[in-house]
Amino acid sequence: MRLGRLKLPVVAYTLFLFGVLLAASSSGARFAFDRFAWGSAIVLAAVLSVNYGNDYFDTEVDRLNETSPISGGSGVLLKNPELMYLSKWIAICLMTLSIALAVAFVLVFRFPLSFIALVVLGNGLVWFYSAPPLRLSYRGLGEITTMLAAGLMLPCTGYFIMLGSLGSLFWTFSFPVVLYALSVIVSVEIPDMEGDGKGGKHTLIVRRGRRFGFVLIALSNLLATLYLSILSKSNLTQISIDLRLIAVFSLAPLATGILGLIERTENRNSATRLVTLNVYAISFMLLITDCYFIAAMM
């Protein structure tokens, strides 16, 4: 259970739930609980496989890092190396289960085959984030992979299972979510800068440093708030929520981004506290937004 690091799948699930509730809040849309439950199983299997797989493939780098609340792996395999292959096969089984459930979902609900392609692509991206031969995070592509997989595909999957297609409403809201995904992955990379560098993991922070990371976090959070503020003044008639409240919710990660920008510390311990706060603020923002969606539909 510790190896699965259940806190991270919970955060990922809020992104999926955001897509579900965004679609369900559309005018004329029906909340389909059966499709929601099935989609939840697909997503939870996929995001759980990430943790088991990353701990296996990143073991050597994790030896060089200290575990933090948001990074450095679970530390379980370092203390229990006999669980190495079990972790790998749990990851493979969960990923296979996710794809198999997607195939069954398409057959049962007569959804387009593109849904299977979406799930396969999402699982492939997160698998090859650290797995050979691609090892995307070791080739300087970890940030883009996270923005696509977490910021785009998770809410996309939730939206898709509700409506069976992607409309303009989804793309309208995708930009700030992708920005928050970038902010989170940069936050996760900051505590592990030294160890990742020694282990050959070419993250953006290894290449550019912690101070650059804090600037990028602040910029991402600021752009997300500005975009949501502008969106709140638009006339989105196909959605029945007050967008001004979502803009207000975004002030939490904006505040942590500004705090990090002011500090811009290179000290690992101080930097870890700042980015942990940022990840918690973004998680809180997503969670409270999901809760607001639910309340607005009642």
Cis peptide upstream of residue 133 (ω within 30 degrees of 0): yes
291: which 2 tokens?
């809760």
Distances in Å between the Cα of 87 and the Cα atoms of 52, 73, 119, 129, 162 are 5, 13, 22, 16, 33
Query: What confidence score (pLDDT) does residue 28 get?
Result: 66
Q: What phi and psi values does residue 239 have, to the nearest 5 degrees?
A: -130, 140
Rounded to a whole number of angstroms, the distance between the first and last alpha carbons of the chain is 35
Per-residue tens of pLDDT for the chain, all 298 residues:
877 777 777 888 999 999 999 998 876 678 889 999 999 999 999 999 998 998 999 988 988 888 888 887 778 888 898 999 999 999 999 999 999 999 999 999 999 999 999 999 999 999 999 999 999 999 999 999 999 999 999 999 999 999 888 888 889 999 999 999 999 999 999 999 999 999 999 999 999 999 999 999 999 999 999 999 999 888 766 677 888 899 999 999 999 999 999 999 999 999 999 999 999 999 999 999 999 988 887 7
Contact predicate 165/29, CB 8 Å: no
Give the SS3 label for residue 49: helix
Q: Are 159 and 19 in contact (CB under 8 A)?
A: yes
Q: Are 180 and 151 in contact (CB under 8 A)?
A: yes
Q: Decide: 48 and 98 in contact? Cβ < 8 Å.
A: no
Q: What is the pLDDT of residues 129-165, one digit of tens each?
A: 999 999 999 999 999 999 999 999 999 999 999 988 8
- 294: its two tokens: 């639910």
Torsion angle defined by CA atoms of residues 202, 216, 193 and 208, in that order, rounded to the nearest 10 degrees: 60
**Which element (helix H / strand E) includes 87?**
helix 84-109
| pLDDT tens by residue, 217-266 | 999 999 999 999 999 888 766 677 888 899 999 999 999 999 999 999 99
Encoded tokens for 207? 């290449």
Nearest one of 176, 289, 180 to 241, comparing CA atoms:
289
pTM (predicted TM-score): 0.94
Q: How many CA atoms lie within 13 A of 103 on its CB side?
A: 7
Report the alpha-carbon distance of residue 143 to residue 137 in Å, rounded: 8
pLDDT value at residue 234:
81
Cβ count within 10 A of residue 2: 11
Rounded to 10 degrees, the C-alpha dihedral 29/247/46/137 comes to 140
pLDDT confidence of residue 209: 95
